[in-house]
Amino acid sequence: MTTLAASLTPRKQVARLAAQILAPLQQGYLADRSPDVAALARLRRGAGREAGQLPDLWSLIDTGPLHVPPDDARPLDESDLVRAEDALHMALTLWALHQQSRPTGMHQADRKDSRRGLGTAVRRMMKPGEIDEPLRKRLVRAGTAPDLTSLAQRLRDIVVLLRRADIPLDYALLAGQLYTWQRPGGADVVRREWGSSFHAWHDKDAEKPGDAAPAPAGDKTTDSTDTDKDAS
């Protein structure tokens, strides 16, 4: 039992809950179900903003399971809960921004045969065999953000570019990383993970049938003027 309790860390609890929330929302949005389309529009307004600024989102991001952890997880203390809630808010609102107007799911699980981490996603926006310095610097700036608000805004800029390039991201993985980022010494851990996934990506991994073309490096990071079913 001790081994089991140690296996589900707070980070894994956050990532698992993010996946559980995202799955039905994304499925419902892609099926054009009105409640889910409306939920995405509400979530999108929180992208790049602190969790407490939009009480309207509290009902959409149910963090209740974190307060009653399963048998294979240790209870989260008050500081852990705050970090977890902030991480979930940031990840889910960024996903909502990313998913807008897209006919396929922009949240896709990271797998060994299909990497979906942030570093890999940024690298996929670059031309094969080249390093686009402006794009790389965006990732570096996100990793060196001085606080959570700055991190949210810098990630928002990256997500806008990923959205235009139709490049998906594992938002459950990101939620876990955002939780870790807030812990003492955690920013260094997450920077290494983002850097590792950036450098581990190879051109041959990206050019598969149906993959989107890279986004132009000079693309502005303002919201597009797309009008679609969830425009608001």
Instruction: Look up the pTM and report it.
Output: 0.84
Query: Phi then psi for 107, rounded to 5 degrees?
Result: -95, 115
Give the pLDDT band of residue 202 (cuts 50, 70, 90): low
Is residue 31 within 8 Å of 105, Cβ to Cβ? no
Give the pLDDT mean for 158-162: 97
- At 95, which amino acid appears? W
What would the two tokens of residue 75 be?
């209870």
Q: What DSSP character marks residue 232?
A: -
The owner of tokens 């990101």 is 174
- Look at 118 and 64; give whichever has higher pLDDT: 118
Query: pLDDT value at position 14?
Result: 95
If you average pLDDT over residues 71-99, what whole number do you get? 91
Whether residue 186 is predicted with pLDDT greater than 90 in this model: the reply is yes
CA distance 14 to 12: 5
CATH architecture of 2-206: Orthogonal Bundle (1.10)
Cβ–Cβ < 8 Å for 18, 26: no
More confident residue, 221 or 82: 82
Domain boundaries, the chain: 2-206
> Is 14:91 a contact under the CB 8 Å cutoff?
no
Residues 140-163, buried b or exposed e (16+ Cβ, 10 A)? Answer: bebbebeebeebbebbbebbbbbb
pLDDT tens digits, one per residue of 5-15: 457 899 999 99
What the block records as the tokens of 209 is: 């049938």
Query: What is the average per-residue pLDDT within 24-42?
Result: 96
